[in-house]
Amino acid sequence: MPELPEVETIRLGLEKYLVGHKIVNVEVRLPKILQGDIEKVKGARVKGARRFGKALVIDLDNGYSIAAHVKMTGQFIYDGPNRPQGIGISRKLVGTLPSKFTHVIFNLDKGGKLYYNDIRQFGWIKVVSTSNVERMSFVNELGPEPPVAIDMEGRSLLTLEKFREVLSNKKTKIKALLMDQKRIGGVGNIYANDALFLAGINPNRVAKDLSEAEVERLYEAVLEVLKRGLKYKGASETNFVSTLGEEGEYQKHFLIYGHEKSPCPKCGGKVSKVWLGGRGTYFCPQCQK
């Protein structure tokens, strides 16, 4: 499910509620989700949580880290003493925990628990040496990331200059390029759709043919829609929930994504839905040239 804003929302929750907990043991219910030696995490304390594009890294105090990618339907849900009172886990999205979709349970000290749920089982969790994280493909093959989140010091950031460079000489369609993690880190289908709408650019345009003004407009639009996604704590159109099990709100603010049955919010015209880059693609032919 998640793109940069959703994964960042998860990361913030892990940082707030998981850090400081010691991992007592781990219950692996679906072994294919997990890679590496899970024994290494036992007895270690959680130091921090990082995000690289759409991937998460939970750092432990013993030289190991837990890397994870939630793909389409993965969820990390925290329960324990740090959990604020009065916040209910969305029954619609996760049900009672553990559920039949809970594939890994991290049992923490002080009675805490971190559940990994994943309906479609596409996600993965890997135990790796912290010193090897930067050498892993999900980090070293990741393109520069739009500077919209707070934990990005020392990272390769997508400046306007880099964005211009990424687009130059590329004959691929602009929407497919926006979603290519090796070129730009963190943007997926929803935010690519919305950024192109906000910038007034047709998703079928060839990247290298965008004018300088269009490149600048699109760059600003990418940052803007990601910031809105963060502000609304992600899009819970389907299965996304935060670390506390709360739904995000960005789905109530989609600009064009999912709007094929409602009129264009700008001109009132009919929104088109096409297949592009292997994904459903929404755009207004009047407003996006």
Under the binding rule (CB under 7 A), the answer on residue 137 touching DNA is yes
Q: How far is the CB of 153 from DNA (least distance, A)?
A: 22
Chosen residue from 271, 276, 284, 287 binding DNA by CB under 7 A: 276
Binding piece for DNA, criterion CB under 7 A, among 106-114, 127-135, 152-160, 236-244: 236-244
3 binds DNA (CB under 7 A): yes
- Edge to edge, the sheet with strand 124-129 lists 34-35, 124-129, 64-69, 55-60, 46-52
Beta-strand ranges (E) seen in the chain are 23-28, 34-35, 46-52, 55-60, 64-69, 74-79, 102-108, 113-118, 124-129, 272-276, 279-283
- d(C-alpha 229, C-alpha 164), whole Å: 23
Is there a contact between 134 and 57 (Cβ–Cβ < 8 Å)? no
State which of residues 98, 112, 245, 277 lies at the interface with DNA (CB under 7 A).
277
Q: How far is the CB of 191 from DNA (least distance, A)?
A: 8
Q: Using CB under 7 A, which of 44, 119, 127, 178 touches DNA?
A: 119
Alpha-helix runs per DSSP H in the chain:
4-17, 137-140, 160-167, 174-179, 189-199, 212-231
Place of tokens 């135990």: 127
Q: Which stretch binds DNA (CB under 7 A): 14-22, 144-152, 153-161, 269-277?
A: 269-277
Taking CB under 7 A as the binding criterion, the range among 16-24, 40-48, 56-64, 271-279 that sits at the site for DNA is 271-279
For residue 151, give the nearest of 3, 1, 4, 2 by alpha carbon. 4
Pairing, β 34-35 against β 124-129: parallel
Smallest distance, DNA to C-beta of residue 235, A: 4
Instruction: Report how far residue 86's alpha carbon sits from residue 100's, in angstroms, rounded to the nearest whole number.
Output: 25
**245 interacts with DNA by CB under 7 A:** no
Can 6 be counted among the known catalytic residues? no
Residue of 3, 8, 15, 246 with catalytic role? 3
Strand partners, 50: 57
Query: CA-based angle 274:54:46, to the nearest 5?
Result: 160
Asked if 98 interacts with DNA (CB under 7 A), we say no
| Catalytic, out of 50, 51, 54, 228 | 54
- In the chain, the amino acid numbered 30 is L
One of 21, 51, 69, 228 touching DNA (CB under 7 A): 69
- CB-CB neighbours of 284 under 10 Å: 24
Q: Is 155 tagged catalytic?
A: no
Binding marks (x or -) toward DNA, 153..192, rule CB under 7 A? Answer: ----------------xxxxx--x--x-x------xxx--
- Determine the distance from the C-alpha atom of residue 225 to the mean position of all C-alpha atoms in its chain, rounded to a whole number: 13
Piece in contact with DNA (CB under 7 A), picked from 81-89, 108-116, 214-222, 231-239: 231-239
| Contact set with DNA (CB under 7 A) | 1-3, 6, 32, 53-55, 69, 71-72, 100, 119-122, 137-138, 169-173, 176, 179, 181, 188-190, 234-240, 248, 251, 275-280
Q: Which residues are catalytic?
A: 2-3, 54, 279
